[in-house]
Amino acid sequence: MQTFGSPLTSVARKALLCGSGELGKEVVIELQRYGIEVIAVDRYANAPAMQLAHRCHVIDMLDAAELRRVIELEKPDWIIPEVEAIATPELVKLEEEGFNVIPTAKAALLTMDREGIRRLAAETLGLPTADYRFADTYEEFRTAVAQVGIPCVVKPVMSSSGHGQSTVKCAEDIDRAWQVAQEGGRAGAGRVIVEAFVNFDYEITLLTVRHKAGTTTLEPIGHHQVDGDYRESWQPQPMTPAAMEKARQIAVSITGALGGLGIFGVEMFVKGDDVIFSEVSPRPHDTGMVTMISQDLSEFALHARAILGLPVPAIRFFGPSASKAIVVEGDTDKVVFSNLEKVLEEEDVQIRLFGKPEVRGHRRFGVLLARGGSVEEALAKVERAYAKLKVETLPR
């Protein structure tokens, strides 16, 4: 039986988040509903989750010694990785010493880079994937492109939100793709994956919850990306019964191999009745922000329940829904939003502003959410809301 005390008391249960962005912020909210004392950790100050947590630490999470120092200082009941860029080998050691890593240190290690999870899926589990090669040098990269063929997709082995990802559509794109991948990796320049371009009808994220009573998959989420960065998502994505069953089997297989409790975002390509595994995140997924309006228990609420060993008896789906990312471009620490009274005048429309402290280049600063009688209607609602939103970037 789980016990729950009050934060900042001697009987408090503590959760430490490694990564404190907008997804972590929602996890903090859900954990605090159960009286959990939350410590937020990230590489920069005033990250969204830090603005709500009971305490925070700013460290280089790729520095194993710094990561260990903070964890040993805080002695959390749960260590919750929320990004890929963490010294995961140190998490493995900490788990061996008795710390509880969510969902497991193995899952964090394998999914921190695309190589670990791709080899697990394709070579260990035998799941259908795109043809792929890995490369450490420019020469190896050129060879990998030749072997996989053009068109192909190039990504750093460790990145998030599409950073460093590009598509090689012709020979002239090869050098640029290498440069983009070297600049966009979470750990800096280094190893890349070259994937054959998959001819698919649509992409999905199948949110999959491993909880104490078993494994539950949610309604499939369709999404649109720009250079690998999510811009819109909708739920449910229409699928044939055969494709849906294959997707469920893939999701249960890969999450079962990773183990532990929590929510996983399993990304797949779908062509007719065929389903191809792409990636998996052992944490809430950005495309899953649509669940903040589409369900009674969002992906963040489900993650918290699963982590805490609480039951997930039913998940009520409210109907067709959509989300649209609010992406800001510029170089400033002064981003101002206005006209929200018009944005929210239409029924079943919501907005979340993340409170990020600055932007350099482009960055997701919020999300618009809507429900409708159909997916098309929900998407039209978020587009109308987005058109009304005013965003101003002021000089530093």
Residues involved in catalysis: 160, 162, 267, 279, 286-287, 364
For residue 315, give the nearest of 300, 330, 333, 331 by alpha carbon. Answer: 300
Give the CA dihedral 236, 240, 241, 243, nearest 10 degrees. Answer: -90
Query: Which CA distances in Å does 349 have to 345, 354, 368?
Result: 8, 17, 7
Give the separation between CA 114 and CA 107, rounded to whole angstroms: 12
104 contacts 260 by C-beta, under 8 angstroms? yes
For residue 114, give the nearest of 21, 187, 199, 210 by alpha carbon. Answer: 187
Phi/psi region, residue 110 (left: phi>0; alpha: psi -120 to 50; beta: rest), is alpha
- Largest Cα–Cα distance in the chain? 62
194 contacts 141 by C-beta, under 8 angstroms? yes
Place of tokens 């101003």: 392
Q: Which residues pair with 167 in a beta bridge?
A: 153
255 contacts 280 by C-beta, under 8 angstroms? yes
Determine phi and psi for 166, rounding to 5 degrees. Answer: -155, 165
DSSP 339-386: -HHHHT-STTEEEEE---S-EEEEEEEEEEEEE-SSHHHHHHHHHHHH
Q: At what angle do helices 138-148 and 174-184 cross, to 10 degrees?
A: 120
* N-term to C-term CA, the chain: 52
